[in-house]
């Protein structure tokens, strides 16, 4: 009996200490359902394929090509263990993996700057990214812009790639997709260049360079590309990235941080329009509102006049019955949150130290895209449509937040304690609701049979913020409605971009 107890104990002891491996889903290699022969005609976001030139490739009958082919075949027949492992990693899909790399860097840099000893806060400086506070502070609006830039760069680069693939039509093997230029190498070149612009620090630069060196070789390792396919792809990917970066430098993000003076002006304007109590920071020490001018950043799928037109009407007055009702609901959750509601709050929180709500929707999108085995270019198109919509949602939501300057529930009633961090920006409308509805609308267009599931997820994401006691129900409901309108603009583009 003693021996049995002892042996049960030791088995469980060993089991507990040995099983540190957390459960992960494993990903399968991408085998696209279509080679998308028409994708070279799809509409790019900036310019067209002929804006970029690559050298004309040598014929497959040429001596130069045959020499390259021999070299490439030698490499692919003698892969090292490290190369084989890298190949398995990249074969899940280049658009997919670069999206993950982007999300990893966003998570790493999604930490708020610490206060200075005198209670002020310094802004991250892109010229000194490795000096505290590190550049960038990859918060949700910054992240939404980052994902959009990367996705647009990937998509535009791939449209140009497809145009040239089918123009030159050089191929060696039975695969129907022409080789020149290599799509994996284009994605590596374009993604890495944009990512280095977004994350100029030394750790990201090192990480990105390593991933670039690996990611561009995939075609050779897999036995489907030769060196000139990679070199041409490099020229093309970098050129597209440079155009996207030039766009980004002028998109208004540089001045989106605002200042305490601007913050006062915005608060005064809202009070002038009838607001009884302006939002104030609940951080200790008080922190300037996050990216108070992000509402001025350029949008992808509509213009500023439209941004103003779709801005929601004013939230309830702070002494109205409608307000009191929704405040009471928040107070109720803060005092009676169930275990199930806690799990919803935590599932959707995507706060500091994570890849943000936009990042969460990128994960949802990739799961659907991988299951559907979309080609790299169709994946890129989906992500570009979704992420430009999410970015536009960020712009509209932040425009709305600082226009109305509405206080959070726990500012109005400090007895309300929260189940998640209180974000440092005004309440109306909810970023989670706006981002989620925009994303769900675009993904429902791409995957119509997932519509009810996606809409349910967006709704749950928006409600998680009520359970967490940091938003009123009207913040979430109005946010969902606005996000849907924003998503519809991206869908309208999708219906006419040639990839429908």
Partner 1 sequence: MMAKKELCLVLNYDKESWNKYWEGDRLRENQNIGTLTSRSASFMAAYGVNEKLNVFAVLPYIENEASAGTMMGLKGVQDLSIAAKYKFYTYKKLRFYGVIGASIPVTDYVPDFLPFSIGLHSKTASARLIIHQLLPYGFHITAQGGYIARSKTNVDRTNYYTGNEIEYSHEMAVPDQVSTSLRVGINKKAVLAEAFIDNITATTGTDIRRYDMPLPANKMDWTRIGLFVTWHTPIKHFSVNGHFSHVVAGRNVGKVEASYGAQLQYIVDFKKKK
What does the binding site for partner 1 look like in residue numbers (CB under 8 A)? 5-6, 9, 12-14, 16-17, 19-25, 100, 103-104, 107-108, 111-115, 132, 282-285, 334, 339, 342-347, 349-350, 352-355, 363, 410, 417-422, 469
End-to-end Cα spacing for the chain: 70
Q: Which is nearer to partner 1, 70 or 132 (CB)?
A: 132
Q: Which is nearer to partner 1, 9 or 85 (CB)?
A: 9
Minimum distance of partner 1 from residue 389's CB (angstroms): 22
Distance CA 42, CA 45 (A): 10
Q: Which residue has the tokens 């989670």?
A: 432
Q: Which is nearer to partner 1, 43 or 331 (CB)?
A: 331
Minimum distance of partner 1 from residue 314's CB (angstroms): 25
Minimum distance of partner 1 from residue 24's CB (angstroms): 5
Distance CA 415, CA 409 (A): 10
Query: Residue 361 CA to chain centroid, in angstroms?
Result: 7
Minimum distance of partner 1 from residue 364's CB (angstroms): 10
Q: Which is nearer to partner 1, 272 or 414 (CB)?
A: 414
Q: Which residues contact 237 (CB under 8 A, 6 or more apart)?
A: 157, 185, 186, 187, 188, 189, 190, 191, 193
Q: Compute how many other C-beta atoms are within 10 angstroms of the C-beta atom of residue 294.
A: 29
Reported as half-sphere exposure (CB side, CA atoms, 13 A), residue 198 has a value of 33
Q: Compute how many other C-beta atoms are within 10 angstroms of the C-beta atom of residue 66.
A: 13
Minimum distance of partner 1 from residue 28's CB (angstroms): 15
Using CA atoms, how far residue 229 sits from 68, 106, 157, 161, 312, in Å, is: 10, 31, 14, 11, 50
Q: Which is nearer to partner 1, 137 or 445 (CB)?
A: 137
Q: Which is nearer to partner 1, 138 or 433 (CB)?
A: 138
Q: Which is nearer to partner 1, 37 or 421 (CB)?
A: 421
Cis peptide before 416 (omega within 30 of 0): no
Task: Of 451, 429, 425, give the one whose Cα is nearest residue 440.
Answer: 451
Minimum distance of partner 1 from residue 210's CB (angstroms): 13
Minimum distance of partner 1 from residue 47's CB (angstroms): 33
The full DSSP string for 344-365 is HHHHHH--TTS-HHHHHHHHHH
Task: Of 194, 182, 236, give the one whose Cα is nearest residue 55.
Answer: 236
Q: Which is nearer to partner 1, 267 or 345 (CB)?
A: 345
Minimum distance of partner 1 from residue 468's CB (angstroms): 10
């Amino acid at each position: 009996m003693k021996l049995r107890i002892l042996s049960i104990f030791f088995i469980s002891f060993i089991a507990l200490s040995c099983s540190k491996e957390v459960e992960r889903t494993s990903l399968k290699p991408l085998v696209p359902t279509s080679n998308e022969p028409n994708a070279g005609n799809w509409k790019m976001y900036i310019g067209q394929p002929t804006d970029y030139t690559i050298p004309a490739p040598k014929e497959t009958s040429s001596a130069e090509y045959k020499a390259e082919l021999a070299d490439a075949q030698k490499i692919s027949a003698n892969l090292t263990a490290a190369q084989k492992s890298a190949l398995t990693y990249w074969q899940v899909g280049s658009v997919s993996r670069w999206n993950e790399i982007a999300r990893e860097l966003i998570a790493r840099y999604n930490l708020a700057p610490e206060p200075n000893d005198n209670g002020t806060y310094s802004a991250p400086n892109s010229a000194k990214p490795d000096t505290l506070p590190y550049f960038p502070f990859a918060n949700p609006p910054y992240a939404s812009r980052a994902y959009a830039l990367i996705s647009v760069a990937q998509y535009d680069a791939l449209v140009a790639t497809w145009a040239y693939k089918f123009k030159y039509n050089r191929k060696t093997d039975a695969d129907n997709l022409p080789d020149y230029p290599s799509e994996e190498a284009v994605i590596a070149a374009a993604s890495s260049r944009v990512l280095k612009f977004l994350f100029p620090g030394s750790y990201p630069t090192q990480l990105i360079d390593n991933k670039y060196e690996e990611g561009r070789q995939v075609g050779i390792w897999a036995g489907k590309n030769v060196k000139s396919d990679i070199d041409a792809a490099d020229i093309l990917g970098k050129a597209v990235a440079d155009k996207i970066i030039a766009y980004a430098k002028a998109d208004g993000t540089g001045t989106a941080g605002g200042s305490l003076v601007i913050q006062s002006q915005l608060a005064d304007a809202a009070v002038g329009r009838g607001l009884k109590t302006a939002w104030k920071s609940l951080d200790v020490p008080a922190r300037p509102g996050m990216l108070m001018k992000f509402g001025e950043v350029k949008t992808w799928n509509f213009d500023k006049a439209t941004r103003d037109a779709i801005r929601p009407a004013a939230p309830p007055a702070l002494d109205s019955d409608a307000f009191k009702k929704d405040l009471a609901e928040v107070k109720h959750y803060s005092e009676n949150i169930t275990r199930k509601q806690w799990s919803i709050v935590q599932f959707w929180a995507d706060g500091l130290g994570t890849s943000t709500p936009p990042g969460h929707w990128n994960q949802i999108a990739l799961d659907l895209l991988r299951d559907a085995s979309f080609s790299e270019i169709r994946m890129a198109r989906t992500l570009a449509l979704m992420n430009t919509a999410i970015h536009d949602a960020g712009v509209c939501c932040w425009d709305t937040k600082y226009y109305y300057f509405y206080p959070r529930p726990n500012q109005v009633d400090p007895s309300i304690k929260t189940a998640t961090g209180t974000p440092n920006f005004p309440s109306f409308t909810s970023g989670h609701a706006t981002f989620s509805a925009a994303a769900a609308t675009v993904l429902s267009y791409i995957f119509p049979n997932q519509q009810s599931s996606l809409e349910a997820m967006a709704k749950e994401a928006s409600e998680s913020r009520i359970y967490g006691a940091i938003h009123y129900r009207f913040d979430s409901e109005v946010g969902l409605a606005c996000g849907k309108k924003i998503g519809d603009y991206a869908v309208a583009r999708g219906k006419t971009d040639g990839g429908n």
